[in-house]
Structure formats: structure tokens, C-alpha cells
């Protein structure tokens, strides 16, 4: 299968997932007409989404999987979702990291994508509670002496979560005395009522510490996170300086979030570079 075919399948499945979540369910024959593909192609897409745990197949179609507010998907499960959106978000967010600055990256698959983009920004000091993010920078270091301009990476320590974040008292104590120019924050959910939230109580406290330590807070989260609410809120929308998301965010959601957020960057659009605060 070619890269273009992979991309088309990914885009198609993202559209199907959006439709399932928006309408509460879809039928195969409706999707074949809307997407102009065969019945077999739609069924393969639904099989793939069901394996990822985001839809449940029913007779003739699919319905969304209703997750408990305490459910925390593992890193591998999340990493297979919204790949193009995460890459667009990562490229846009990387432009907000100035050479020589001190930044923090929380755990998550979007911050993991961002870490790859930040390898090109010289002389960063990176504080992270993500094992995966730290591994990205470690893998980029050549054997022997570090290359000029390579990032200095500080891993907080702590107890590992299903999403490979380090949380708890050890992480909180490490973050408490630090100060960042920018925090790039991945989130489980973002909403008007609950603000930023996570299903993991210990992660919520660690994220609160990260937010307090940052001069500027940049949330990196794709459009599927809008309206999702986890067990514990850890920040109000008013505490966020910029949300970097993707073109899948509906016009209604853009208008609602813009009322609460100082900056909104929709990555992947023709004017993405000029939006936000």
C-alpha cells in the first residue's frame, strides 16, 4: 500500500469517527454514499476503528464507545489515532519554541510528535515527565560528546502511568522549583465546563504543577479532545494562553473556545501561522 493510500484511509477513518461521535452512530450504507467508497472499504475502516477501541460495531454500522471518566487509554492505543492532525499540530507548535529557551513537555502522543519537531530547535532545555518524549531526544544524540545545539533534557521521575507519563510526589517535587518559558501540554479532554481534565488523579496534580511553573501555557490537542471530560480537572481555560489544534475542529467549537481562550491556532490551514496569541 502506498503512502497516499495510507493517508486516504487515515483521513477517511477520521471522518467516520467524527460522524459516529457527532450523530451517535452511523450505518454502512450511509458511509458508502458519503465517502464514495465500497461497502467492503467501509467495513474494513470500521474494523480498524473497532480494534483501536473508539467505535463498537453493530449490525449494519457502528456506534461510539462510551468511556468512563476514569478510563485511561495506553500510549500505543492513542498513538494510532489522528496521526495527520498530530503532525500538523506538532509543526505549528514547534514554531513557538525559541532557540535557547527552557520548555516543558507533558506526556501524551501529541507532545511525542512535537518532540520530533523540536529536535531542530537549537539549545533547548527540555523538562518532561514523559518517558517517550525523553526517549526521542535521547535517540537523537550521537554516541560520545553531544552535538552542538543539542537539547538538555531533564526527566522528572515519578510513577509511570498507562500513557507513559511520570506522576506523583516525586515528579511534583521536581517540578515545584522549576520555571519554564513555555509549557506544551497534552490533554485527555478540554471543555468549557471542565477546562483541562485527565482520568488520572495523580497526573492531574502533576499537570497543575506544570501549569503553575510556566510563563506561557500552550495546549496541543486535536479536535477530538473538545468536549471530552476526564475524572479530574487541573486547569481552567483562562489559564491557557494558546490552544493548537487541527482543521477538524468544528466552526461551532472554534467560536465557543475563542470566547475563553486568548489564542487559538488551527494547524494545517492556509492561515495557521498567523493565528493565536
The three-class DSSP label of residue 59 is: coil
Count the Cβ atoms, other than its own, within 10 Å of residue 159.
14
pLDDT at 70: 46
pLDDT of residue 273: 42
Cα–Cα distance, 188 to 222 (Å, whole number): 10
Residues counted in the chain: 277
Q: Map out the domains of the chain with their CATH numbers.
A: 3-64 (1.10.10.10), 75-274 (3.40.50.1360)
Distance CA 42, CA 48 (A): 10
- Averaged over 153-166, what is the pLDDT? 90
* Residue 97, all three cell numbers: 519554541
Q: In whole angstroms, what is the distance from residue 253 CA to residue 236 CA? A: 17
Say which residues have a Cβ less than 8 Å from residue 263's Cβ, sequence separation at least 6.
Answer: 241, 242, 243, 275, 276, 277
Give the three cell numbers for residue 150.
543539542
| Least confident piece of the model among 77-86, 120-129, 144-153 | 77-86
Q: How far is CA 210 from the centre of its chain?
A: 16
pLDDT band at 275 (very low <50, low <70, confident <90, very high): very low
Per-residue CA distances from 31 to 20, 97, 143, 224 (Å):
10, 41, 51, 20
Note the pLDDT tens digit of each residue in 8-42. Answer: 787 888 888 878 877 778 889 999 998 989 999 99
Q: Tell me the average pLDDT of the chain.
A: 85
* pLDDT for residue 231: 87
CB 98 within 8 A of CB 181: yes
Instruction: Report whether pLDDT(116) > 80.
Output: yes
pLDDT band at 146 (very low <50, low <70, confident <90, very high): low
In tens, the pLDDT along 240-253 reads 999 999 998 888 88
In which element (H, E) is residue 32 found?
Answer: helix 28-35
Per-residue confidence (pLDDT) for residue 270, from 0 to 100: 55
**Contact partners, residue 4, CB within 8 Å, separation at least 6:** none
**Nearest C-alpha neighbor of 185 from the set 123, 96, 274:** 96
Q: With 90 as the cut, is the pLDDT of residue 199 above it?
A: no
203-257 per-position pLDDT tens digit = 999 999 999 999 999 999 998 888 888 889 999 999 999 999 999 888 888 998 8
SS3 174: helix
Which of 13, 52, 4 lies closest to 31 in space, CA to CA? 13
Contact assessment for residue 175 and residue 202, using Cβ atoms and an 8 Å cutoff? no
Q: What is the pLDDT of residue 67?
A: 54
Residue among 184, 180, 182, 211 nearest 195 (CA): 211
Q: What is the DSSP string of 64-123?
A: E----TT----HHHHHTSSHHHHHHHHHHHHTT--TT-EEEE-SSHHHHHHHHHHTTSTT
pLDDT exceeds 90 at position 90: yes
Tell me the percentage of the chain whose pLDDT exceeds 90: 52
pTM listed for this prediction: 0.71
| Residue entry with cell 543539542 | 150
Amino acid at each position: 500500500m502506498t503512502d497516499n493510500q495510507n493517508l486516504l484511509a487515515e483521513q477517511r477513518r477520521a471522518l467516520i469517527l467524527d460522524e459516529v461521535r457527532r450523530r451517535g452512530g452511523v450505518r454502512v450504507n450511509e458511509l458508502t454514499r458519503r465517502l464514495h467508497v465500497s461497502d467492503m472499504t467501509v467495513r474494513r475502516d470500521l474494523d480498524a476503528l473497532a480494534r483501536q477501541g473508539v467505535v463498537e460495531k453493530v449490525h449494519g454500522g457502528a456506534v461510539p464507545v462510551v468511556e468512563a471518566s476514569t478510563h485511561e487509554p495506553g500510549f500505543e492505543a492513542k498513538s494510532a489515532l489522528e496521526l495527520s492532525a498530530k503532525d500538523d499540530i506538532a509543526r505549528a507548535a514547534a514554531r513557538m519554541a525559541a532557540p535557547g529557551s527552557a520548555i516543558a513537555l507533558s506526556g501524551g502522543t501529541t507532545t511525542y510528535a512535537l518532540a520530533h519537531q523540536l529536535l531542530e530547535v537549537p539549545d533547548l532545555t527540555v523538562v518532561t515527565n514523559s518517558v517517550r518524549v525523553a526517549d526521542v531526544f535521547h535517540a537523537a544524540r550521537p554516541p560520545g560528546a553531544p552535538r552542538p545545539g543539542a537539547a538538555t533534557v531533564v526527566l522528572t521521575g515519578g510513577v509511570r502511568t498507562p500513557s507513559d507519563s511520570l506522576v506523583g510526589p516525586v515528579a511534583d517535587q521536581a517540578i515545584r522549583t522549576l520555571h519554564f518559558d513555555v509549557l506544551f501540554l497534552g490533554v485527555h479532554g478540554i471543555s468549557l465546563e471542565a477546562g483541562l481534565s485527565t482520568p488520572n488523579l495523580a497526573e492531574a496534580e502533576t499537570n497543575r504543577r506544570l501549569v503553575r511553573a510556566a510563563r506561557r501555557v500552550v495546549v496541543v490537542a486535536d479536535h477530538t479532545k473538545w468536549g471530552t471530560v476526564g475524572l479530574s480537572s487541573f486547569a481552567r481555560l483562562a489559564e491557557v494562553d494558546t490552544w493548537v489544534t487541527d482543521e477538524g475542529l468544528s466552526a461551532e467549537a472554534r467560536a465557543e473556545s475563542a470566547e475563553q481562550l486568548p489564542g487559538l491556532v488551527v494547524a494545517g490551514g492556509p492561515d495557521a501561522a498567523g493565528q493565536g496569541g
